[in-house]
Amino acid sequence: MNWSFHSAGQLAAALQAGEVTSVELTDEAIARIERDDSAINAICVPDFDRARAAARAADQARARGEDRPLLGIPVTVKESYDMAGLPTTWGIPRYADYIPAEDAVQVSRLKAAGAVILGKTNVPMTLRDIQSFNEIYGTTGNPWDHNRTSGGSSGGSAAALAAGFGALSIGSDLAGSLRTPAHFCGVYAHKPTLGLAPTRGMVAPPGPALPVDLDLAVVGPMARTARDLTLLLDVMAGPDPLTHGVAYELALPPARHERLSDFRVLVIEDHPLIPTGSAVRAGVNRVAAALVDEGARVERRSPLLPDQAEAARLYMLLMLSNAAASLPADVYEQLRTRAAALNSDDRTLDAARLRGMVLGHRDWVEANNRRELHRHGWRQLFAEFDAVVCPITPTPAFPHDHSGGLEDRRIDIDGVEYPYFDQLVLAGMATMPGLPATAIPAGRSPEGLPVGVQLIGPMFEDRTPLRLAELLERKIGGFRAPE
């Protein structure tokens, strides 16, 4: 039997029943990578010898009666996570030979759960793109069309899942880096509530692996089924044992509902600052129609929704203030001069990004206070709704575009060009307030490319969008292997 596209849940059941061994699953996954990955370039750092050793150990553990959540299941890990003995470069050429001494906390949790790690997956340089390419490892193609991007920054992980290279992967998300690749490659991903899963060891080289509470950025699971997202999130979630874990234990509330008919859903097709392309709009409406068909309460607008234009500008301020914190002093001064020359009435996203790069602490505190007001607005909305359905990006996967700087690129939305970075505001709807969001497949574009949408849920109620994703998978279908 070919096991490459089975879910992690199915593989766990087959392993438990003795229908297959971890060694057999691992050998099959490695053979598939060696056969197919030259055309996709998803696995940038293979670790096959240690994977085979881990598979043998998993089979021995199972023979002794052990049963861990991921025991013997082949998985991959985003390149940006530290793994002892393997390079962690973030695609930065000067760190091509940097090898950390210990595993990231999430890699340790995978190993403790019994996973077999096949290797690391490709990323963009410094993780700051929604395409995955760098000078060290090259470009990752989309398994549906190798001439198109697999997304970023967890593009290698999404491509690996779509190509059958392991059952699960772990990635990270600041500007849609879990959700966008899932959308482009037709798989599932979950951006957890901010702070739910510790990020220690998911750090740019040669930074120390400290238990830092990141602003905006999270780590999270990727899979080919919604149920597998929950399986992997349960491994990843919980406080860092070096800090909050000293005093706290995790107790996520259950999903609000168990039937589609009980859900109250707000559907958002458009963003005030960027249009939604026709293919993605069709995906949003496909999900909305399925909800209506099952008897769910579906609304198209609500006065409770926080101002999304203001939220987008605030998101850019906060995100770019973080991204620019390590800029050289001379570059920072040039940006300060440019920002000072902006018209005070300039409320474009370009202006917000520039202001964010030179944001002083006083202004950051004011921006953070505004964020808290948005979070309160979302709490009020989620008293009336259980989830929000909306786009992840305006378009399906686009052709590789590595031209110039990010600020110079454009994105084509149904024949009209927009600034490349502006499309991030859709992912930012969940990122800025720190909300959980689950990316699900929602059909195909007229060109046959995957289209996904995101299900945004209440803070720390991650099981609600995850359960909704599982129910929608049964209703509209889920992952399909590339043809």
What is each CA distance from 239 to 235, 266, 385, in whole angstroms?
A: 11, 31, 28
For residues 132 and 151, the answer to whether their CB atoms sit within 8 Å is yes
Catalytic residue among 4, 153, 172, 445: 153
Of 445, 324, 463, 327, the closest CA to residue 395 belongs to 445
Most distant CA pair in the chain: distance in Å? 70
Q: Is 177 a catalytic residue?
A: yes
For residues 323 and 342, the answer to whether their CB atoms sit within 8 Å is no
DSSP state of 297: E
What is each CA distance from 463 to 44, 193, 195, 251, 460, in whole angstroms?
A: 32, 11, 15, 11, 8
For residues 16 and 67, the answer to whether their CB atoms sit within 8 Å is yes
- Collapsed DSSP state (helix, strand, coil) of residue 1: coil
Strands 116-121 and 188-191, by their bridges, are unpaired
CA–CA gap between residue 92 and residue 125 (Å, rounded): 6
User: Cα 107 to chain center, whole Å?
Assistant: 16
One DSSP character per residue, 57-99 reads HHHHHHHTT---TTTT-EEEEETTS--TTS---TT-GGGTT--
Q: Is 120 a catalytic residue?
A: no
Catalytic residue among 7, 22, 78, 157: 78
End-to-end Cα distance, the chain? 19
CB proximity list for 434: less than 8 A, separation 6 or greater: 193, 194, 195, 216, 375, 459
Catalytic residue among 177, 191, 321, 445: 177
Please report where in the chains the tokens 């990141």 appear, as a residue. Answer: 214
Q: Is 153 a catalytic residue?
A: yes
Q: Quote the strand ranges of 156-205, DSSP E.
A: 168-173, 188-191
Q: Quote the strand ranges of 237-396, DSSP E.
A: 264-267, 297-299, 387-390
What is each CA distance from 19 to 10, 44, 54, 100, 450, in whole angstroms?
A: 11, 31, 19, 37, 32
CA–CA gap between residue 242 and residue 41 (Å, rounded): 36
Active-site residue list:
78, 153, 177
